Structure 1
Amino acid sequence: MPDSVIKQGFILNKGTFHRKGKVYVELWVRTDEGAVRLVSPAQYPSCFVASDQVETLKQKATSLVNKLKLSDDGFTTLEQVAVTTIKSTAETAMHQLRQLAFAEGITLYEADIRLADRFLMERFIYGSVEFIQSARSNSSHKEAEPITIENAQVRPGQYRCTFSALSIDIECNEHEDLFSIALASKHVNEVILVRPPTTEIKSGKIDGRLPFNLTVVESEKALLETFFNHVEHIDPDVLLGWNVKQFDMAVIARRSNLHRLKFNIGRQQREATVRAWEDQTLVDVPGRCVIDGIEALKTMTYHFESFSLDHVSESLLGENKLIQSDNKLEAIKQLYHADPLALAQYNFKDTVLVNRIEEKTHFIDFLALRSALTGLDLSRPGGSVAAFLNVYLPKLHRKGYVAGVRPENGGLASPGGYVMRSQPGLYKDVLVLDFKSLYPSIIRTFKIDPYGLAEGLKDPTNAIAGFKGAVFSRTNHFLPDIIENLWLQRDEAKKQKDAPRSQAIKILMNSFYGVLGSGGCPFYDPRLASSITLRGHEIMQTTAQWIEELGYTVIYGDTDSTFVHVEGVNTLGDAKETGAKLAQIINRKWQEELSRRFAIDCHLEIEFESHFSTFFMPTIRGSSEGSKKRYAGVKTVVNQGQQVDTLIFKGLENVRSDWTAMAKTFQYELYQRVFSQMPVENYIQQTIQKIRSGMADSELIYRKRLRKPLASYTKTLPPHVKAAKQADEINAQQGSPLRYQSNTSIAYVITLQGPQTIEHTQAPLDYDHYIEKQIKPIADSLLPLIGLDFEHIVNDQLSLF
């Protein structure tokens, strides 16, 4: 048997620890044989300081000098400032150095990069890792325990795997007294319940009627201990949940502390830590990763009116939570005491819904692919800047440069995407031509890149001109090549119909512009972002000009989309033929233009995206000027193999969360009738009658979320805040729990006495409000285009009475 073998795995969790005065990186890796713990050789936290500030730093940091090692390794900043490398033996020393430098006004470069991140990025390790395992590694370890490999030698790998996942959910009261914890996975389905004081209930499968096993315990402490034992026995790679970090994990951590229990849900019975930081809760579970469904779907760019589990599961699965009460907390407490079995079913159903949402969206696969592309932790939400640094920084270091520092004031705003003033109206045959990934293709075409900017400024005579004084090297750059590689990977993913991978790459490519224009990025430079957006403006305006020269009318343009009215112009064929031929013409023109002006290859590509048979572009409310980012139209889409005419809304009331169900229904029906050339007068009159008769009351509910604590609203009181304040005043008077103090959704109506929550409505609804503020604006935006007037239609109805 050989002394060692090469193994591969996927990083679940990483961190650092100190031992005998030295710092080490710890990687928890999922392999085919199970979890492995990799411990690096001793590492040295590092950063850089301008060489002309070294003496000042030594004078100010006399207490730290013995803990630091300074060396001249030939690095400079992108602004050509020479820097000196600083290394320390401990993270505490580096933390003290950062504090001292900040207090003394000394600039440190890359001082905020975590040691574990630097360890991996400098080895180009992203998600998958290859390592050497001795045949004698932990020969004495118990088979069920993960292997630990000391002094691990690691390099990039190509490992892919399926992770074992466990969905968890807790139920408790407003004082965080735990009632139950549910667990659901492919192999274990369990609800652990604290025995209610007034109800008899036994452990077991309950005669096989339930899809889970019920374990009844006698105390909250026993509940926690049982939960910890279950997690250790199930041994999942991933812990899932809905708001699992900020709520479930945070509550469990606090209750564990109350009972003086260690929160031991990590591998090797390691303790989990939960830390609140700004608006995030950071959860670290050694050997496992914690993935929150809300964070994952937002990272995947899903959009919902509400990210509540009930709303998302209804939207994606057509399923709902078992409790539909407006006051779920009271319902949960009542069930616990009166029908604990029903509470267990409710608790378990939530874990099942999270698992089914994951199966539907494949968000674990998506996060694993993102990790393989960027090195971001599986459990990390967002992270565009960190992803960019992981990919870009090690390449930059190998050219002798270090990253800059984030601007203190957040930086100057760069110009936004191009938005053309629209030509409002009701049209037939409107085409939409889209530039494929416009900003990434601009980066790729014009060689826009931080390193390329530094090199271009050194030799501007053979560089590509950008905007605001930027010039980019034709040969020395990283980002265009990174984009090209991702582009090719995405094309391959599309061919293989690998939707999660394609989506992960698309989001990553599109994030690069935002990163370069973000004050939170150490590569922030207005010349970089402006060279992307202003070039986008030029491309969009020139494209519109070329289309107009061909005899068509451009009625709107938005970032990367051009809307072309082609009705009655059939020079290039019918509408769809015209769209395809226009795309060919524009692509050829850009290739010729860029070759002539810049002597560069063109990677811009415009596509014929869609054809609206009927299209409506509204005006700005109360104005004759055309609106932006708002339109509706009918286009043919393929649904289950069938071509179906579908009404599409963009930015209008139908897709806004702050409009009532009645307004959305009215807008959809009204537009459908107008676009189909059907009469609308009777429909409008029937809608008004339905509202005034009270038959539509259930459709007149507004829903809006409190974005900050209720008490912090002092200067202005929006309607939902007024309703919430009044409701909690009534709750306080009745001795009921306060429901609306922070971060909650308010369901309210407008009454003759003002806004009131639906459970505390004490006055008749103000129907005139709904007609004037919800129905009339929708009608007024469209009716004049077909020669009708809302007031006239409503007055005709009133004259009948």
Structure 2
Amino acid sequence: MNVPHTGFLLSRQSHDQHHGTAIYYWVKTDQGPARLVIEGEQPVFFIASCDFDCAQPMLERASVPYSYRALALKRFDQSPITALYFHKINDHFRAQDVLKAQGIEVLESDFRLHDRFLMERFAKGGIEFIGHQKQRRGYTEYSQVKLKPADYTPRFSAVSLDIECSEHGALYSVGLQGTDGQFEIVVMIGDPQPTGVLVDWVRDERALLKQLEGHITQLDPDFIIGWNVINFDMRLLIARAEHYNMRLRLGRGSSYASYRQSRNDSGQGFVTIPGRVVLDGIDGLKSATYSFESFALDSVAHQLLGKQKLTDDVDNRMAEITHNFEHDKPALAEYNIEDCRLVTEIFEKTQLIDFLRLRSQLTGLELDRVGGSVAAFTNVYLPQLHRAGYVAPNLPEGGGLASPGGYVMDSRPGLYRNVLVLDFKSLYPSIIRTFKIDPLGLVEGLAHPESAIPGFREAYFDRDKHFLPQIITELWQQRDEAKRMNDGPRSQAIKILMNSFYGVLGSGGCRFYDPRLASSITLRGHEIMQQTARWIEQAGYQVIYGDTDSTFVWLGDECTVPEANAIGRTLAKDINHNWQQKISDELQLESQLEIEYETHFRRFLMPTIRGSEAGSKKRYAGIVGEGESQQLIFKGLETVRTDWTELAKQFQTALYQMVFDGQNPSSFVQQTVSETLAGQRDEMLVYKKRLRRRLEHYVKNIPPHVRAARLADEQNEKLGKSLRYQRKGVIAYVITLNGPEPIEYQHSAIDYEHYIERQIKPIADGILPFIGLSFDQLTNAQLGLF
């Protein structure tokens, strides 16, 4: 009983049982999987003590059993609270429904029992525990458990899973690959025949599902990974099992897998497999802030690995899968297992499991949690708030008021030489650290404004009573250490967490939302950027643009590269000193602001807003480096946007390079127009755009990509093919004389005038006037054909 063990949290559940509640934590230990059982914990929520006399008869009339206790806790308005405890989770839900219906505010009622238990003990990822030990088949069970946080990192095991099925969801095969590379198998319906991969042949779907259970039990992975594995593979497997009146035993201890759909319209599903974690590659990469033109496996594998799926016929992939199942099962087996391998390689390339593990260790979030910025902040902050004597408020009614955004300066358009970029290092976290911006600090500061730090919108922050500045300081130090150790996943996880703290404080979805908090960050940022620009101007240089945390400084045409670098370093040093002095003199605080000399653009373009002489915002281009290290950088312009054609991207890159190099681009512009009109660049005229909603949800405004998608599915339906675009997706199309048409069903002639006017001309007009040229004058003779 008293021998401590360490483990890492995999899955967590809680439910009612006959004599109370039970919490189940599955953990990975060095000795193998373990299930921790904690019984008798009481769900709790809080109400204002002044409401208790009204609440008591309401709960008695509803026959809800409870107990109560006045605690040394209070609300943010300093009023005392009373805690209501419940024997069962169901009673906890019933009670809050009764009280809310009568207008009584219920605080902190939305925490699941198993999450609160961990949170109040500061347990995140790794834990140390003791309990009565009992050996079960395949795992160890511990009862009467006590646990606390621990620094423990296990070696996880994972299996990559991929299914192949008919258009209507009938299963053909399931591929499994152990990510250690020691195990690969395809379970397939059919008679045995020679194949290039190991195939477990079964007679029908029911047998396939049973064999899947057996292989998962034998492999006993901590993670099941895949691509869209939750909303497609696992959802379909569970649905097919239900079709045969089965429940899939994919969890440890022969427990069942279950699937539930999100209550909102996000389409997100959730899979629970006790003792295992299902990780979707798409969700994981998005959590790690990866961005791709398309998150299709084929596209991501090509971009990250330089590999593609084992079929080139994207449009008829489903038909090819069915054909191979009926006529060439060895080819289908190769295709099935190759998808498993691609997923494994993507996870390894991106170190995705390491990233998700570190995120869990930092925040207490479940390993498979999608998003979760608000939950991460709450997990970290709330236990400390309780120990300071407060309970958290509820979400703001109506979603709260919008907070001011980051500072964006009116730019000075032009074509420049020698532009420096100075960046504040993690500006918003630095502001939080410097000016002690914090939910508790705001409450205490407002109570004693005479000694507090002034914020914005009548905010005041206590100089001593706060948690968030210290939390960020500790994360900052951990990230610096991660950088020194070249630990990319850890550095990225910490960066995402730190940068999310401003966002959640300004979000109506966070219980700590207060417009004074977010405004005291962003408006302080405005003040810092404006003062920084004034100091730079006083030093004799021009600030031509500023955006959130970046300042763009023009040094003039006559400046060598060594001179520019020296000026950048000097400016950064002087600005940091000035802020240290100013903040110390005016507020008696230590500045945590740090500006860095980031980039020297040898040539730089700040364009105008289209159709205006005013400078644009968040759009620019420039050249950095020299010789072989030279790099052309675009920000916010067509070449970095996914909704522009390849023609536009290549034209812009070549045109800007010529202008920056001092070449006359007239003949190049004319040649591009001529070749486009002659049909020599047709393969570059394809638009690719993501459908953000279901097709049926586009009602009033029907943009071109939606019209193309509807045309494609109308043709698919006529030909008896699957409808590809009803539930979102990416559509490829061209603009013809008859409007947008999908490339797979293009019948009309291309509208070349559209591409000249909408793709080439806007790009040319963005830079040619700065060198005294006009697109219209260069191309009038050519366009006279129209």
**Counterpart amino acid of 2:128?**
E
Quote how far apart the aligned CAs of 1:95 are: 1.2
* Aligned with residue 657 of structure 1, among 619, 630, 642: 642
Quote how far apart the aligned CAs of 1:22 are: 1.0
Alpha carbons 1:58, 1:65 under 8 Å: kept: no
Alpha carbons 1:64, 1:93 under 8 Å: kept: no
- Distance in 2, matches of 1:694 and 1:132, equals 74
Hey, what does 1:579 align to over in structure 2?
Answer: 568
Quote how far apart the aligned CAs of 1:488 are: 0.9
Alpha carbons 1:180, 1:193 under 8 Å: kept: yes
Hey, what does 1:408 align to over in structure 2?
Answer: 397
* Aligned with residue 189 of structure 2, among 170, 185, 194: 194
Hey, what does 2:274 align to over in structure 1?
Answer: 286
The CA deviation string for residues 723-779 of structure 1, in whole angstroms up to 9 with x for no partner, is: 122222233333333332221211111111111111111111111111110111001
Q: Quickly say closer, same or farther: Cα 1:256–1:571, change in 2 above 3 A.
A: closer
- Distance in 1, matches of 2:774 and 2:318, equals 48
Q: Secondary structure at the match of 1:401?
A: coil
Alpha carbons 1:572, 1:581 under 8 Å: kept: no
Alpha carbons 1:666, 1:775 under 8 Å: kept: yes
- Distance in 1, matches of 2:230 and 2:784, equals 60
Q: Secondary structure at the match of 1:152?
A: strand
Hey, what does 1:225 align to over in structure 2?
Answer: 210
* Aligned with residue 104 of structure 1, among 102, 108, 118: 102
Q: How does 1:96-245 map to 2 (within 5 A)?
A: 96-132=94-130, 137-139=133-135, 141-142=136-137, 145-185=138-178, 186=180, 187-195=182-190, 202=192, 206=195, 210=196, 212-245=197-230
Alpha carbons 1:594, 1:601 under 8 Å: kept: yes
| Residue 523 (structure 1) aligned with residue 508 (structure 2) | no
Hey, what does 2:12 align to over in structure 1?
Answer: 14
Alpha carbons 1:552, 1:569 under 8 Å: kept: no
* Aligned with residue 456 of structure 1, among 440, 445, 450: 445
Quote how far apart the aligned CAs of 1:562 are: 0.5
**Counterpart amino acid of 2:277?**
C
Quote how far apart the aligned CAs of 1:713 are: 1.7
Q: Secondary structure at the match of 2:60?
A: coil
Q: Quickly say closer, same or farther: Cα 1:489–1:425, change in 2 above 3 A.
A: same
* Aligned with residue 647 of structure 1, among 620, 623, 632: 632
Q: Secondary structure at the match of 2:512?
A: coil
Hey, what does 1:684 align to over in structure 2?
Answer: 669
- Distance in 1, matches of 2:781 and 2:418, equals 34
Hey, what does 1:592 align to over in structure 2?
Answer: 581
- Distance in 1, matches of 2:577 and 2:402, equals 34
| Residue 307 (structure 1) aligned with residue 295 (structure 2) | yes
Quote how far apart the aligned CAs of 1:64 are: 4.8
Quote how far apart the aligned CAs of 1:413 are: 0.4
The CA deviation string for residues 654-703 of structure 1, in whole angstroms up to 9 with x for no partner, is: 11111111111111111111111223122222222222222221211111
Hey, what does 2:30 align to over in structure 1?
Answer: 32
Any unmatched runs of 5+ in structure 1?
196-200
Alpha carbons 1:35, 1:146 under 8 Å: kept: yes
- Distance in 2, matches of 1:306 and 1:536, equals 34
Hey, what does 1:366 align to over in structure 2?
Answer: 355
**Counterpart amino acid of 2:329?**
P
Hey, what does 1:68 align to over in structure 2?
Answer: 66
User: Normalising by structure 1, what TM-score?
Assistant: 0.95
Q: How does 1:274-673 map to 2 (within 5 A)?
A: 274-277=259-262, 278=264, 279=266, 280-327=268-315, 328-568=317-557, 574-636=563-625, 644-673=629-658
The CA deviation string for residues 37-91 of structure 1, in whole angstroms up to 9 with x for no partner, is: 1112421111101112112222322245552111101211112122110110111
Identity %: 50
The CA deviation string for residues 317-367 of structure 1, in whole angstroms up to 9 with x for no partner, is: 111112232322223222322322222222211111111111111011011
| Residue 83 (structure 1) aligned with residue 81 (structure 2) | yes
Q: Secondary structure at the match of 1:264?
A: coil
Q: How does 1:744-783 map to 2 (within 5 A)?
A: 744-783=729-768
Number of positions where the alignment pairs a residue of Structure 1 with one of Structure 2: 780
Alpha carbons 1:203, 1:213 under 8 Å: kept: no
Hey, what does 2:247 align to over in structure 1?
Answer: 262
Alpha carbons 1:7, 1:131 under 8 Å: kept: yes
Alpha carbons 1:203, 1:215 under 8 Å: kept: no
Quote how far apart the aligned CAs of 1:643 are: 6.0
**Counterpart amino acid of 1:319?**
K
Q: Secondary structure at the match of 1:73?
A: strand
- Distance in 2, matches of 1:634 and 1:122, equals 52
**Counterpart amino acid of 1:593?**
K
More deviation in 679-688 or 76-85?
Answer: 679-688
The CA deviation string for residues 280-318 of structure 1, in whole angstroms up to 9 with x for no partner, is: 211111001111111111111111111111111111111
Quote how far apart the aligned CAs of 1:796 are: 4.9
Quote how far apart the aligned CAs of 1:7 are: 1.2
Measured on the aligned residues, the alpha-carbon RMSD in Å equals 1.8
Q: Secondary structure at the match of 1:167?
A: strand
User: Normalising by structure 2, what TM-score?
Assistant: 0.97
Quote how far apart the aligned CAs of 1:228 are: 1.3
**Counterpart amino acid of 2:119?**
M
Q: Secondary structure at the match of 1:595?
A: helix
Q: How does 1:780-799 map to 2 (within 5 A)?
A: 780-797=765-782
- Distance in 1, matches of 2:493 and 2:713, equals 43
- Distance in 2, matches of 1:74 and 1:651, equals 53
